């Protein structure tokens, strides 16, 4: 819905995310795909600035960007809500205690029109886990706040050696609905 | 090597092989060691600033090493991992094969055990062949080391950097010897200094 309702001259959300990653020198993007992220992933692949590839599991992706950070390259993981649900151990036993500024972009499934009960349940685990681990997280619902939140939070993550999760709401992305 | 053959290999010792590996490092190569015994023996073999001792996150030594290898293509990176840990995260072998980083070597210590949790058998004790799995994932440069000499030869070739390589070694059930530093931030900061990466 947002793609349609934003002003004609506004960039789509995925272009803003891409530009903000680039402006902050975040080069390495590792993902396990989600339908909602399709355009963002395609645009990242098409841009030579980025090193972009899929991992087989989100934990693996977190390991890869953690290694890259320690070797001087900034990275982000893209995933859907159920992918985040596989991450508590990797966050609690690697990212958080090592103070690694992992950037986690989560396409929010399971709410605002979800049709898959499993997605809806797994989504309910996400914020409690983030809060239990005291991970900075922002649910982004508004196009006009997107760049500010992502840009400032990336800078904060690196300045404070802390991970951050960006939850991309269906209000921002349009989400995924059951084809009728 | 066929699945039938891997039980006939010489059973070696992790600390001895770790020392042999370290003796071959001449260019500040990064070494990422997996959970438990793997990093205890790396610690014991001689601490160096280019070593990263992974305390938790079982299975993530190879993914971390891949990230280092991508970020620093001029530096060779060695991942040391236990068989149980690798079996938990086999998909990473497929990812490494696709990325084809020339500067990445993976060493798998196969004792057929989850040794540190009480020596329960792993799937590789009787049936799963780590090298066959790696080849199936697309890692053509994967081999069992039949003995110490062959381990050293395989390691020397891997360090030439022709492509991602995996070396598997059957090892005994001697527990890890060293006592790794337990402060994850200190480990990370030392490692980052050791490989010339400033906090960004
Ligand atoms: C996700 C997760 N599951 C289980 C454990 C418990 N655990 C710690 S080390 C280990 C065994 C590791 O086996 P292997 O990699 O073969 O090394 P070994 O102990 O044989 O040297 C297990 C099961 C853990 N730390 N994390």
CA distance from start to end of chain A: 16
Secondary structure of residue A137 in the 3-state scheme: strand
Mean pLDDT by 10 residues, chain B (200 residues): 66 98 98 98 97 97 98 98 98 98 98 98 96 98 98 98 96 96 97 87
Between these two residues, A140 and A8, which has the higher pLDDT value? A140
CB A15 within 8 A of CB A2: no
Band (A180; pLDDT cuts 50, 70, 90): low
Contacts of B191 (CB under 8 A, 6+ apart): A70, B30, B49, B50, B51, B52
Instruction: Note the pLDDT of residue A9.
Output: 55
- Domain contains B200: no
- Domain contains B199: no
Instruction: Note the pLDDT of residue A1.
Output: 46
The first and second tokens of residue A93, run together, are: 């036993």
Q: Work out how many domains chain B is built from and give that number.
A: 1
Strand order in the sheet with B165-170: B51-53, B30-33, B77-82, B104-110, B165-170, B141-144
Integer Cα distance of B21 and B144 in angstroms: 15
Checking if the pLDDT of A7 tops 70, the result is: no
Contacts of A161 in chain B (CB under 8 A): 199
Q: B10 CA to chain A: closest CA distance, Å?
A: 32
Q: A90 CA to chain B: closest CA distance, Å?
A: 5
- Domain contains B44: yes
B55, B57, B192: residue with CB nearest A70: B192
| A152 phi and psi angles, rounded to 5 deg | -65, -40
Integer Cα distance of B177 and B149 in angstroms: 23
Integer Cα distance of B36 and B175 in angstroms: 9
Checking if the pLDDT of A12 tops 80, the result is: yes
CA of B58 to the centre of ligand 1 (A): 6
Q: Span A13-112+126-171: which CATH code?
A: 3.40.50.970
Residue B131: which CATH number? 3.40.50.970
Instruction: Note the pLDDT of residue B3.
Output: 47
Integer Cα distance of B37 and B14 in angstroms: 9
Domain ranges of chain A: 13-112+126-171
Q: Which of A25, A33, A67 to mutate to test the interface with B (most CBs of B within 10 A)?
A: A67
CB B142 within 8 A of CB B93: no
Integer Cα distance of A178 and A115 in angstroms: 6
Contacts of A105 (CB under 8 A, 6+ apart): A17, A37, A76, A77, A78, A79, A165, A166, A168
Contacts of B197 in chain A (CB under 8 A): 70-72
Q: Is A73 on the interface with B (CB under 8 A)?
A: yes
- DSSP category for residue B139: -
**Relative to the CA of B86, which ligand 1 atom is closest?**
15
- Domain contains B154: yes
- A27-46 pLDDT, tens digit per residue, is 999 999 999 999 999 999 99
Integer Cα distance of A146 and A20 in angstroms: 10
Band (A161; pLDDT cuts 50, 70, 90): very high
Class of residue B108 by CB neighbours under 10 A (exposed 0-12, middle 13-18, buried 19+):
buried
- Domain contains B110: yes
Instruction: Note the pLDDT of residue A179.
Output: 78
**Domain around B168:** 5-194
């Amino acid at each position: 819905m947002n793609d349609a309702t934003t002003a004609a001259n506004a960039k789509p959300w995925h272009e803003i995310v891409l530009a903000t990653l680039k402006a902050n020198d975040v080069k390495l993007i590792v993902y396990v795909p989600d339908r909602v992220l399709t355009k963002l992933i395609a645009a990242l692949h098409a841009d030579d600035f980025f090193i972009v590839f899929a991992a087989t599991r989100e934990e693996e992706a977190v390991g890869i960007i953690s290694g890259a950070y320690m070797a001087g390259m900034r990275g982000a993981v893209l995933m859907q809500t159920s992918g985040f649900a596989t991450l508590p151990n990797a966050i609690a036993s690697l990212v958080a205690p090592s103070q690694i500024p992992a950037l986690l972009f989560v396409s929010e499934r399971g709410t605002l029109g979800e049709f898959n009960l499993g997605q809806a349940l797994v989504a309910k685990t996400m914020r409690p886990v983030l809060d239990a681990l005291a991970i900075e997280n922002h649910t982004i619902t508004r196009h006009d706040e997107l760049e500010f939140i992502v840009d400032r939070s990336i800078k904060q993550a690196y300045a404070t050696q802390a991970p951050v999760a960006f939850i991309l709401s269906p209000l921002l992305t349009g989400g995924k609905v059951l084809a009728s | 090597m066929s699945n039938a053959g891997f039980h006939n290999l010489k059973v070696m010792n992790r600390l001895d092989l770790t020392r042999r590996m370290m003796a071959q490092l001449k260019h500040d190569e990064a070494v990422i060691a997996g959970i438990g015994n793997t990093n205890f023996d790396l610690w014991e073999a001689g601490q160096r600033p280019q070593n990263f001792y992974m305390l938790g996150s079982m299975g993530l030594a190879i993914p971390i090493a891949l990230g280092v290898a991508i970020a620093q293509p001029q530096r060779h990176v060695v991942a040391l991992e236990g068989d149980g840990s690798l079996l938990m995260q086999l998909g990473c072998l497929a990812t490494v094969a696709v990325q084809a980083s020339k500067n990445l070597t993976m060493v798998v210590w196969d004792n057929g055990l989850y040794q540190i949790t009480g020596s329960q058998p792993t799937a590789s004790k009787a049936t799963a062949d780590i090298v066959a799995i790696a080849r199936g994932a697309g890692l053509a440069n994967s081999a069992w080391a039949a003995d110490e000499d062959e381990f050293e030869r395989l390691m020397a070739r891997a360090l030439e950097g022709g492509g991602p390589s995996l070396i598997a070694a059957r090892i005994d059930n001697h527990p890890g010897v060293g006592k790794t530093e337990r402060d994850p931030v200190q480990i990370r900061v030392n490692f980052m200094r050791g490989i010339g990466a400033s906090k960004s």
